[in-house]
Chains A and B, each alone.
Chain A
Amino acid sequence: MSDDTTRADTRILTPFNVIAGSIILVGLVLTVLRFTKGIGAVTNLDDNNPWGLWIGFDLLCGVALAAGGYVTSATCYIFGLKRFHSAVRPAILTAFLGYALVVFALNFDVGRPWRLPYPIFFSPGTTSLLYEVGLCVFLYLMVLLIEYSPAALEWLGFRKIRNIIVRLTLVLTIFGVVLSTLHQSSLGALFMIAPSKLHPLWYSGYLPVYFFVSSIFAGMSMVIFEGSLAHRYLHHKMDETHLAESEGVALGFAKAAAFVMMGYVGIKVIGLAIDNNWHYLATGWGAWFLVELIGFVALPAFAYALAARERNLRLARWAAIWSVLGLVLNRLNISLVAFNWHLPSAERYFPSWMEIAISVFIVTVGIVVYRFISTHMPILYEHPDYRHEH
């Protein structure tokens, strides 16, 4: 185990390092450009399209895909399914990194990022759903930091504080679920203020419910997906418990996700029926809506169900990637594709390469940090000193 790490550390010009390094380099250059020439210089945003890729992908998808944290910890600690225990730490770490990156990305998108604490400490706009999102994300980031901290403390050897924090696990988990419920749903509710801009097939009074429910299966899918990545690239870091439990975690979540996703399809159909939007299905927008709902929710749900039934781990992992893509498609549809649908095509938004580059840069930073932490701290294995404690 230790042989591998030493070797990896000594070699600097690995393909991973080269690619990640160059992306980060480009990202840094664009960052300088963003903060010297303004948002207009690096983005295709305009007055009609004030939110672009950085909100649609970095914020909406980032938050939804980081839902694995609360889903896994709730499964393990609240629902008491101890066999998911080994998945909790990696999920919490991903969630923590995910949220940290969301906040990091917001620094690019908002006009005056140093004022980001304003809504929380200085002038709270309590009528705004964005305020609620901000407050919850801020608090949840704190919660995640505390939830994650035992790993760092074990690494650093602070046994006493670590033990105190571990005792808070249940309270933190419940607090985390409450905050996640609130802000995951509120991200959807953000768009409820603009019924005149969002296409009726996507606009619904149930937007918050849709966002919350989809975050659950997105979180599960991300846990499965990350698990498969970690298996491939960080196999040497995993202890026996982790390896033994990982198939159960993946298939357990596959089964749960299949149920949640079918439920999600159900409530989406109910939403259609309540607003009587059936006739839109016959239009091009309707076809696209069905591609999203059937092609990227119902079908992966079916694949999940099949995988769980056949105990087919490979299929479960493919379904996870499929569901994650579906989630991304849904968030991009709501924030970019179906938003401002009535505008002529010349006034519609498409991201510039620099926006995409910055988003890639942020994701890369996330991967690099995750790799560093999971190769150095007890994430994928239990620290020998604290084994068999729970």
Chain B
Amino acid sequence: MAKRATRQWRINAVLAIILMILLCGVSSVFSSTATDSRALDVVYIDLPHVPGNDKMPGVPFPHDRHTRARENSKDCSACHLQQKERFVFRFKRLIDGTPDADMAVYHENCVACHAETKSAGKTSGPLDGDCRSCHTTVSGDAPAWQPIRFDKSLHFRHVSSKAIRPGNMYDDTNCSACHHIYDETIQKTVRKNGTEESCFYCHKPQKTERSPSIRWASHASCVSCHQSLKTRVRKTGPVECAGCHDAAVQQQIEVVENIPRLERKQPDTVLLASWMSADGGSAEAMKKVMQPVAFNHVVHEFKADSCRACHHQTLKNCAQCHTETGDEKGGGVQLARAMHNSVSTHSCIGCHRQVTMTKDCAGCHAAMPQKRFSQLACAQCHAVDREAMGPFPMAAEERTAVAENNLNSRQRAFMTLADEHIPEIVKIDGMKDKYEAVDFPHRQIVRAIFTRIKENKMAAYFHGNDVTLCAGCHHNAPATLNPARCAACHGKAFTNDEDGRPGLKGAYHGQCMACHEAMGIEEPASTDCIKCHKEKG
């Protein structure tokens, strides 16, 4: 009997322990937390996997901590080897070997240096056997990490720097210090004035057969150069990760205003007429094409961030790749499609659309359907009169002259509409059962819109005449000085119009409130009814 009771007790105890373990498991699952310990300067070292090896996770290497630890050494040579007076930003080797060999390089050198530091009595990194101290699973970029934008200002500071010397002794500009091209015949990079293009055209996000990745190229070139200049001049670019990639540090980078135009023998004005570029064209060919566009290249240079804003692959002219009927070089995209793509930021229409979505313009333009083209709109750009062309074949200078003439002829006075043409107050009494009639300050609003875009050259160019602006509100009808009133088209809501046009109330409120929102006008608030509608007394 006693034996039996003991046995029973044992069984109960075992079951109780199992239950306890389960409950502990639950509580541990509920309480697990993870903190974001990723630093800004992390270089993630992760060698390719060797099949058959049980691979450890990679190493998030805190680069700046190591740079600072070696502060007394003047350069990067503690960790990086040199080739042709430039550092190669691999660790202790010039080229990648087999993963096993590279791993040995890391293990030997890292641990050796850590051990040395330790024996010198300083704090050091992990030693032999502390595998998981380096090989942790934390990876990815730190939240504060930002890509650096080499914008026009930074570019200009490099162009105008006295410290930088051109790559060729006889060059009178700094360009060849950085810009180079790959010479197919000698299979080497060469530096040649007038061939500068964007780094990104060759250095892609991933390395290609011919070019290292943009990441590799920019670190190798920029950091090496900054490092070498450090010995000669007082002020040079950053060599630490944070110097370029910390969002806060980026804010402090000096910005130069009024940057002069970059010189690379580009035209001031271009007559966009690809059909005549090869042979100078003919009168016969002209009959079958769109009117040419006179393109102001200078103005666009100043408005765009960089050449890459439009020239996304090369600085050659657009029609070289985007031929009239489409070519393999241009990814099969026809010239007309390339110019009119409303989604791409490299196309005319796409970029202009972005401009129309800025606050000054969006009041009217946001309400316009994205993909709608009208015949009126085409002529805004395709404005070169066919009569002005010729005689054929036209030389390059002749074409430029035609474009210049066209652009000059469109310089005109903007916003000259006299008050008498603009009604001052419009009475709106659509909701007279609830509210007093609204005195709509029509002229004040028109003038406010005029003021916002008066200085805008693009607006002046494209709003063919002042009445065009009226069409912002008085839409969907030819612009005239006496447009139809709103109630002419908008009436009772939801009366089975297949075009989905709003009723009068929806149209008024939609127009006023959407415009205020788009233009950032906070007063009157859309929800503040009595600011516009006086309550019936």
Contact = CB atoms under 8 A, between A and B. Distances in A.
Prevailing SS type, chain B contact patch? helix
B95 interface: no
A287 B30 contact: yes
B299 interface: no
Interface string B10-27: 011001001100110110
B420 to A, nearest CB: 62
Interface residues of B, number: 12
Contacts of A283: 29
Contacts of A286: 29
A287 B18 contact: no
A299 B19 CA distance: 9
Interface residues of A, number: 17
A269 interface: no
A306 B10 CA distance: 13
B29 A284 contact: yes
Interface in A304-333: 306, 312, 314-315, 318
B53 interface: no
Contacts of A288: 26
A110 interface: no
Contacts of B18: 295, 299
Given A284-B30, A287-B30, A315-B8, A295 B25 contact: no
Given A299-B18, A299-B19, A287 B11 contact: no
Given A283-B29, A312-B8, A315-B8, A291 B22 contact: yes
B11 A295 contact: no
A314 B8 CA distance: 9
B1 to A, nearest CB: 12
B25 A287 contact: yes
A294 B22 contact: yes
A334 interface: no
A284 B8 CA distance: 33
Nearest to B18: A299
Interface in B1-60: 8, 11-12, 15, 18-19, 22-23, 25-26, 29-30
Contacts of A290: 22, 25
A135 interface: no
Nearest to B21: A295
A272 interface: no
Contacts of B8: 312, 314-315
Nearest to A303: B15
Contacts of A315: 8, 11
A284 B15 contact: no
B19 A295 contact: yes
A299 B18 CA distance: 9
A291 B23 contact: yes
Nearest to B29: A287
Contacts of B19: 295, 299
Given A295-B19, A299-B18, A299-B19, A284 B11 contact: no
A30 B12 CA distance: 40
Nearest to A302: B15
A330 to B, nearest CB: 16
Nearest to B31: A284
Nearest to B26: A287
A284 B26 contact: yes
Contacts of B11: 303, 306, 315
B26 A291 contact: yes
Nearest to A310: B7
Contacts of A306: 11
B323 to A, nearest CB: 51
Nearest to B4: A312
A75 B107 CA distance: 72
A286 B26 CA distance: 9
Nearest to A300: B15
A294 B12 CA distance: 16
Contacts of A318: 12
A283 B25 CA distance: 11
A290 B19 CA distance: 11
A230 to B, nearest CB: 22
Interface in A238-297: 282-284, 286-288, 290-291, 294-295
A309 to B, nearest CB: 12
Interface string B69-81: 0000000000000
B22 A295 contact: yes
B7 to A, nearest CB: 8
A290 B23 CA distance: 10
A120 to B, nearest CB: 43
A291 B25 CA distance: 9
Contacts of A282: 29
Given A312-B8, A314-B8, A315-B8, A299 B26 contact: no
A153 B3 CA distance: 48
Contacts of B12: 318
A158 B11 CA distance: 51
A291 B28 CA distance: 13
B75 to A, nearest CB: 49
Contacts of B23: 291, 295
Contacts of A287: 25-26, 29-30
Interface string B114-147: 0000000000000000000000000000000000
A258 B19 CA distance: 18
A221 to B, nearest CB: 16
A67 B23 CA distance: 30
Contacts of B22: 290-291, 294-295
Nearest to A298: B18
A294 B22 CA distance: 9
Contacts of A284: 26, 29-30
A284 B18 CA distance: 18
Interface string B144-159: 0000000000000000
B23 to A, nearest CB: 7
A246 to B, nearest CB: 19
B2 to A, nearest CB: 14
Interface of B: 8, 11-12, 15, 18-19, 22-23, 25-26, 29-30
23 contacts: A284-B29, A284-B30, A286-B29, A287-B25, A287-B26, A287-B29, A287-B30, A290-B22, A290-B25, A291-B22, A291-B23, A291-B26, A294-B22, A295-B18, A295-B22, A299-B15, A299-B18, A303-B11, A303-B15, A312-B8, A314-B8, A315-B8, A318-B12
3 A-B pairs closest in CB distance? A287-B26, A287-B29, A284-B30
Given A284-B26, A287-B25, A291-B26, 8 more contacts: A284-B29, A295-B23, A299-B19, A303-B15, A306-B11, A312-B8, A314-B8, A318-B12
